[in-house]
Structure 1
Amino acid sequence: MGHAIRGSIQGTGLLVLVLATSCSSTTAVKNDDAGAVPQHAGAAVAVAPLDKARDVPTDTTVLVAAEGGTLKDVVVRAVKGAQGSLKGVLSGDGTQWRSRGTAAPGASYEVTVTAVNPAGAVTKKTTSFSTVKGSETFAIESLMPSKDTTGTTVGVGMPVMITFDKDVTDRVSIERNLLINASKPVLGAWHWFDDKTVHFRPKHFWPAHTKVRVEARLAGVRGGKGLYGKQNQSIEFKVGRSQITRGSTNSHQLTVKRNGKAIRRIPMSAGQGGVWKYHTTSGVHLAMSREPVTIMTSPGIGPGSAGYYQMTVYNTVRISNSGEYIHSAPWSVGSQGYSNVSHGCVNVSPSNAKWFIDNTLIGDPIIITGSPRELEPTNGWGHWQENWKEWLKWSSVKHFTTEKA
């Protein structure tokens, strides 16, 4: 799934089995008896990690192979320090098996293998290994779209946003275990904003009506020295129709297009600029919230000071973290469509504001042009302000095509 590293399992031979881990270490497993396997003997079995191996990295793949026969059963079971077993996949010819997912830190595992040769002779082998100990764990603090709204419908610009409760430094291990499945596969990438924050977006907007599943398979994944993931988490969401709104601070108009067709033109009034620099930012905004009532207060200006205001505003759609909304402004209807008089928000009439909030999805792109102030990529969900090359600079695994759900 997603950008998980999948290796096709081919017949590489049992006598020398090489397993490359994500830490670029290599473990070689050799038969006790080199040379050809006698026809009357049972199938020979090799297992990596080696028997009684200690301090094995949690993301090491368990690899089992049979020569002179096929594998009938492989069980990798936690016997101390954890519960459950590691699942795996068998090659098409039945000669090799490899685990999927990660082991728990500070745990002991038992590998039980059953193989059979063409004559029906059964070979059984049991080995064990223990994983490196972890001193602390990390967890996902927030995952957007919210798990509480799993199954929700979002706009075509919606990013996937993850915040961890601790700083994580092994970004490659984290990214390799963040999987995106989409009913309409897209090219996309994760982007680190800091050691606690990683977001995903496609190269281009999501195709309309795409179903997406996000899996954070982080249980046991290394996040840094002595730091390991506490649990797995997943969400599902749907991308709705394609609705993109474009507005100009010069023409004073918003045009809403749904699936490429203009469905509404709305007169607007943007930021007036001036001494207070009340500019509406230019750039690709996303609808961040829909609020029936919002209390707006002048930023950085207290009561009694020139320029101070506090007002109750209705039917607001938030488009940045710097206090920008598209909202009902009955006091500026006469200027809407003609001039910019707002404190930085996009003013529209009460009826247009009601229509807009009712017809907007979280994640819908709202593109404003004409302002001297550019939207910063970190101002709200300004992710689309970075071109693809810039976005990839902060990705550890670069890019991948999501798998079909």
Structure 2
Amino acid sequence: MPIAACSSDGSAASQSAAKAPDAAATITPANGVKKVRPDKGVQVAAANGVLDQVTVQGGGRKVEGTLSPDKKSWTSKWTLKPGATYTVTATAKNAGGKITTSTSKFTTMKAPSSVKVSDVIPSARETVGIGMPITINFDSPVANKSAVEKALEVRSTKPVEGAWRWITSQQVIFRTKSYWPAHTSVSLVAHMSGVRAAAKVYGTKDFTRTFKIGASHVAKVSLKTDKSKVYVDGKLAKTISVSGGMGGADSHGNDFRTTSGVHLAMGKMPEVWMTSPNIKKNEPGYYHELVLNDVQISNSGEYLHRSPGEWDCLGNRNCSHGCVRQTVAGALWFYKLSQRGDVINITGTTRKLEWNNGWGYYQMPWKTWVKGGALKKPVTTVATGGATTTPTTPTAPSGSPTPAHS
């Protein structure tokens, strides 16, 4: 009888699998723990194997998490809701394919004090221009800016690079490196629930705001030629004769130069009473006049508007107190077209727009802007589906100053 050269009544792999120790999943927080800090989140680690599945349920929702590439650890993506009960179920698999299950049930501490998003610009479902920043205001000071910034997620149908910059302890602003792509849907999701914003201060509620980037509107205003060329989605749509600031200053501290640089439309109003700053009635240089079709572009009293007179200046020379005057037809057309966040790039003057005058954020170099964030690095918006929003268009600027120039 022939004898086989190699034979066995069981493979080496099956024998190894039979001897493989059981895998185990260690869950943090452990079962039964109370008053867990919500900003610590959930961590699951596998021993003698890999994680097969992790589910975390609590606070009225399923908790998102990230599995490591080697499948040996899992970490919750966002912070947890204060004062909530959570249940964690984790399965781990050993080398032989045997599954073991671990569970943990714990509660998070209630927030001693809370912080929340008090206001966001743009408005809900608003259609805005390609330069639109996202401004978030909080109802109390934020000391732990890094934790809050990590919780701020921007989603868009077309991914774009941007960065956050803290203006005050209660305000942070997101701008894109270049402009938003036109015709893009955007969502801000502030995962604030459980974020430790300061000592004993936690977010207790998430916040979501959706809006839409409309058509690209870019006005290139030259106060050398006194012409405004307005481009819609990259194509020249209209050329408007204009007249900018006359230049110089007066003894009252008024500067009559229009600011040059990248302005953003901050809002629009059908009519505005414009009054000379620092000059009393009956004093030389005083004016108080009603001006029509006004689009605000700074906090120093600058608008693009219908010229109140001096029609011979339009397209020929600069005669205003600092605003950009337009023809009757041109002003009405531009007013109807305008949406908050539209780009107005003014050139030809010796006065530079400061980055914090209105929404002059594109005046700041990109690298400098990024350094103003707590994390000091840019982010790319999270790509989403193509869902659109029902547009609304607020007309009045947010927090408009007393108009000064005409």
Q: How far did 1:88 drift?
A: 3.6
SS of corresponding position for 2:313: coil
TM-score by length of 1: 0.80
Matched, 1:380 2:354: no
Which ranges of structure 1 fall in alignment gaps of 5 or more residues? 1-35
Any idea what SS the aligned residue of 1:311 has? strand
C-alpha deviation, 1:322, in angstroms: 1.4
1:37 and 1:196, CA in 2 relative to 1: closer, same or farther beyond 3 A?
A: farther
Aligned length: 364
Aligned to 2:247: 273
1:126 aligns with 2:103: yes
User: How many angstroms apart in 1 are the aligned matches of 2:48 and 2:17?
Assistant: 7
Which of 185, 206, 223 is matched with 2:159 structurally? Answer: 185
Q: Which residue does 1:312 correspond to in 2?
A: 290
Q: Offset of 1:94 from its aligned partner?
A: 7.2
Deviations 1:315-339 (A, max 9, x none): 1111111111111114121111112
SS in 2 for 1:283: strand
How much is the aligned-residue C-alpha RMSD, in angstroms? 2.9
- Decide whether the 8 Å contact of 1:319 with 1:326 is kept in 2: yes
Aligned mates of 1:113, 1:368 — CA distance in 2: 59
Match of 1:208 in 2: 182
Distance 1:376 1:40, change over 3 A: closer
> Is 2:376 the partner of 1:392?
no
Note if contact 1:76-1:109 (Cα within 8 Å) is conserved in structure 2: yes
> Greater Rg, structure 1 or structure 2?
2
Post-superposition offset of 1:353: 0.5
Percent identity at matched positions? 40
Q: Are the aligned partners of 2:111 and 2:204 in contact in 1 as well (CA < 8 Å)?
A: no
Measured after TM superposition, the shift of residue 69 of structure 1 is 6.7
1:342-381 paired onto structure 2 within 5 Å:
342-381=320-359
Name the counterpart of 1:19: none
Tell me which amino acid in the other structure corresponds to 1:402: T
Query: Is the 1:189–1:399 Cα contact (8 Å) retained in structure 2?
Result: yes
- Alpha-carbon distance between aligned partners in 1 of 2:25 and 2:129, rounded to the nearest angstrom: 52
Aligned to 1:245: 219
2:191 aligns with one of 211, 217, 230: 217
Aligned to 1:301: 279
Q: Deviations over 1:276-295 (max 9, x none)?
A: 42221111101111211222
Deviations along 1:88-135, one digit per CA (max 9) or x if unpaired, are 456789765432321134555443445577989764433345546642
Moved more, 92-101 or 163-172: 92-101
TM-score, normalised to structure 2, is 0.80
Unaligned runs of 5+ in 2: 1-15, 385-406
Shift of 1:145: 1.1
Deviations 1:319-373 (A, max 9, x none): 1111111111141211111121111111111111111111222211101112222
Query: What CA distance in whole angstroms lies between the structure 1 residues aligned with 2:60 and 2:287?
Result: 58
Q: Which moved more, 1:54-63 or 1:302-311?
A: 54-63
Is the CA contact 2:82–2:193 (under 8 Å) kept in the aligned structure 1?
no
Q: 1:32-71 CA deviation, whole Å, 9 max, x = no partner? A: xxxx997487542211234555665423241224456776
Q: Does the alignment pair 1:236 with 2:210?
A: yes
Query: Are 1:269 and 1:332, in contact at CA under 8 Å, matched by a contact in 2?
Result: no
After superposition, the C-alpha distances for 1:211-270 in whole angstroms (9 at most, x for unaligned) are: 222111111111111111131111222222222111122221111122333221111111
1:98 alignment partner AA = T
